[in-house]
Structure 1
Amino acid sequence: MIVLGGTFVLDLAVAVQAFGRRPSVFSKIRDEPEPPYEIGVCGLAPTPTSLGFTMSDLKPVDWITGADTVVVPGLEAPWAPQDPAVLAAVARAAADGARLVSLCAGAFVLGQAGVLDGRRVTTHWALADEFRAAFPRADLVEHALYVDDGQILSSGGMLASADLCLYVLGQDHGQSYANDVSRVLVSPPHRTGGQAQYVKSGPRPSGPLSPVLDWLDEHLAEPLSLGHVAAQAHMSQRTLVRRFREETGDSLSVWIARRRVERARALLEDSRLTVTQIAHTAGFGSTESMRRHFLTYAGTTPRAYRDTFRGGMPATSAR
């Protein structure tokens, strides 16, 4: 495992816990006290972490030479140039056939090491644009929790690191073993859906079409044909289509569908409306239409989304 400046402590901790020494409670599940791997945490000491404290008890970077697996946790500023010695060590490990595992933004380090060309890879959804710009020859699978591309494995946001680590354990030691580690972590061995259900749009950039976009937001529950919107914008349909894509990057129909899904997500999280009521309030017209669009843009179903993000009563509560 490689620790770099600004390494996310949670990523590192998840990997050390998954692959390192077993906690004493594991003996209640399996009589296997020995860790399944010999692990070493490497870096250019002293190294500041994302939480401000410094790690100094690190093995030298070249310790990864000959390693079967190299794990690169995420870091605070993944676009920053990394030390050439670190990148050279990662590249050598790849050339020697080591399995490379990036957690969260660790994919940027693999990209800088030049090992991602033509590879399927994922990273945190909020870094997708920066990743594509930096490594256009990599095949970014933006909304996956994790991706297995053979020698290269990668995960999305920080807690998706646990998903990938459990997957690796299952590949190396069998699913039953990975399931038992997940029981200790009190984490599902496999989560349904992907990162799309966690994506949240930022503030909308302002532009010439801002008044039209505001109007669309106010009328999402209504039928919105191209002709209707063009008349509201005082443009021909052809001009609206061209300007809409230039300003938003989407077609009108896709933009409306995305906004309706966002509206439905907010209502699923915060309201007591039924799924059917939300479908009509958000402008889908039917629960089946909302379900189809949810699967397309959120990677899950409306009911599953509500179960995940609505929350429930605390376990100690009583009526």
Structure 2
Amino acid sequence: MGRHRVAIVVLSGTFVLDLAVAAQAFGRRPSVFAKIRHEPETPYDIVLCGPTAAPTSLGFTIGDLSPVEWIADADTVVVPGLEEPWAPQDPTLLSAVAKAAEAGARLVSLCAGVFVLGQAGVLDGRRVTTHWALADEFRAAFPRAHLMEDEMYVDDGQILSSGGMLAAADLCLYVLRQDHGQAYANDVSRVLISPPHRAGGQAQYAKATTRPLSGSLSPVMHWLIENIAEPLTLQQVAARANMSPRTLERRFRTETGDSVAGWIARRRVERARELLENSNLTVTQVAYAAGFGSTQSLRRHFVSRIGVSPRDYRDTFRSTPEQSRTVGRPQQGPAGTPACDAGPDARRPGPFSFMH
């Protein structure tokens, strides 16, 4: 039946990193691969398809590209991200992608490459992802697709898509795992010095947008942010807004699309992320400073919204002198007592509000 044919699409503004990851994952194996596995040859035939010459995102041009018509006969079509994904693409290219889909080809988009698939008309009703920062633009352009912006990558059968930049490696390794097994994907990951699978999704990398607070509830929202570390009840917030709790909930959902408790929890998670990245507070101290009141509550909300634990998040985004200490040496608190990051859950005295 012949070898599996992979068409990698190269367009004006293609991200070089996405292109390199795809070419390395499916293309010719480097010489060191023979030291890892007695299968030095790639199981794929890859072809770079695009215009006669395509200037990349870094300014240099890639030439000697195969015609875009070749895409229609590929077994797998890979579309790397590109600098201006919303720009209209050549109808000939889009037709070739659509024909490949009709013929049953697997379509793999990396980062913003999913916009090209959307223009080809193959995403209606499909679950996909893209770079978290492009979520608004994607939803506006392709409202019939189901965007899962927090996911590192999404497998929707014929359509596979990855989040931003280096998530391309996660998806390509996943495809190798599906095609040739876990051991093969693991060995390719050893060449890349990249984990075969990363925990969590894009939510841990997305930066919270700081949109100006507006609307009739903006004074209450500012007050909530200023007092985010305090125990807050719906009754307290309603009294501050001079409304009944029921009216406040209704107005809050109208203006923010979220409940009062949900909005506060989101802001507390954002505050916890800032403290985990930029402070020396212990995880327990972060829980109190962000208003969760307990390490258990912080962890529950953090894992639900970010996909990883607070400690794993800190290990990823902050390198501190703590990490070079002797393993097993207890961390000392301000008064010389061991800190309780990993100890029993600590709680504030007194009643605990529904928002925790």
Establish whether TM, by shorter chain, passes 0.5: yes
User: Which of 77, 80, 101 pairs up with 1:73?
Assistant: 80
Distance, in Å, in 1 between the alignment partners of 2:86 and 2:258 is 27
User: Which of 277, 300, 312 pairs up with 1:269?
Assistant: 277
User: Which of 205, 208, 211 pairs up with 2:219?
Assistant: 211
Partner SS, residue 229 of structure 2:
coil
User: Which of 141, 144, 147 pairs up with 2:151?
Assistant: 144
Q: Which residue does the alignment assign to 1:279?
A: 287
Query: Based on CA coordinates, which of the two structures has the bigger radius of gyration?
Result: 2
Distance, in Å, in 1 between the alignment partners of 2:259 and 2:238 is 13
User: Counterparts of 1:92-241 in structure 2 under 5 Å?
Assistant: 92-208=99-215, 209-241=217-249
1:316 is displaced (CA, Å) by 11
Partner SS, residue 65 of structure 1:
helix
1:312 is displaced (CA, Å) by 4.5
Q: Which residue does the alignment assign to 1:31?
A: 38
Q: Which residue does the alignment assign to 1:303?
A: 311
Distance, in Å, in 2 between the alignment partners of 1:252 and 1:80 is 39
Q: Which residue does the alignment assign to 1:21?
A: 28
Distance, in Å, in 1 between the alignment partners of 2:219 and 2:58 is 42
Partner SS, residue 140 of structure 2:
helix
Distance, in Å, in 1 between the alignment partners of 2:269 and 2:214 is 23
Structural RMSD (CA): 2.0
Q: Which residue does the alignment assign to 2:16?
A: 9
1:206 is displaced (CA, Å) by 3.5
1:126-156 CA distances to partner (integer Å, 9 max, x unpaired)?
A: 2122222222221222211111111111111
1:317 is displaced (CA, Å) by 12
Distance, in Å, in 1 between the alignment partners of 2:250 and 2:52 is 54
Check 1:75–1:317 CA distance in 2 against 1; reply closer, same or farther (3 A cut).
Answer: farther
> In 1, are the aligned partners of 2:238 and 2:245 still within 8 Å (CA)?
yes
> In 1, are the aligned partners of 2:213 and 2:221 still within 8 Å (CA)?
no
AA aligned opposite 2:286: I
AA aligned opposite 2:130: T
AA aligned opposite 1:262: E
Partner SS, residue 41 of structure 1:
strand
AA aligned opposite 2:29: R
1:55-82 CA distances to partner (integer Å, 9 max, x unpaired)?
A: 2221110112321100000111112211
1:291 is displaced (CA, Å) by 1.0
Q: Which moved more, 1:35-44 or 1:247-256?
A: 247-256
Distance, in Å, in 2 between the alignment partners of 1:255 and 1:249 is 9
- 2:227 is the alignment partner of 1:246: no
1:170-203 CA distances to partner (integer Å, 9 max, x unpaired)?
A: 1111111110110111000000111111121122
Distance, in Å, in 2 between the alignment partners of 1:99 and 1:251 is 40
Q: Which residue does the alignment assign to 2:346?
A: none
Q: Percent identity at matched positions?
A: 74
Q: How many residues align?
A: 318
Distance, in Å, in 1 between the alignment partners of 2:208 and 2:150 is 14
Q: Which residue does the alignment assign to 1:49?
A: 56
AA aligned opposite 1:234: N
Check 1:131–1:165 CA distance in 2 against 1; reply closer, same or farther (3 A cut).
Answer: same
Residue ranges of structure 1 left out of the alignment (5+ in a row): none
Distance, in Å, in 2 between the alignment partners of 1:252 and 1:47 is 50
1:101 is displaced (CA, Å) by 0.4
Residue ranges of structure 2 left out of the alignment (5+ in a row): 1-7, 327-356
Partner SS, residue 100 of structure 1:
strand
Check 1:20–1:82 CA distance in 2 against 1; reply closer, same or farther (3 A cut).
Answer: same
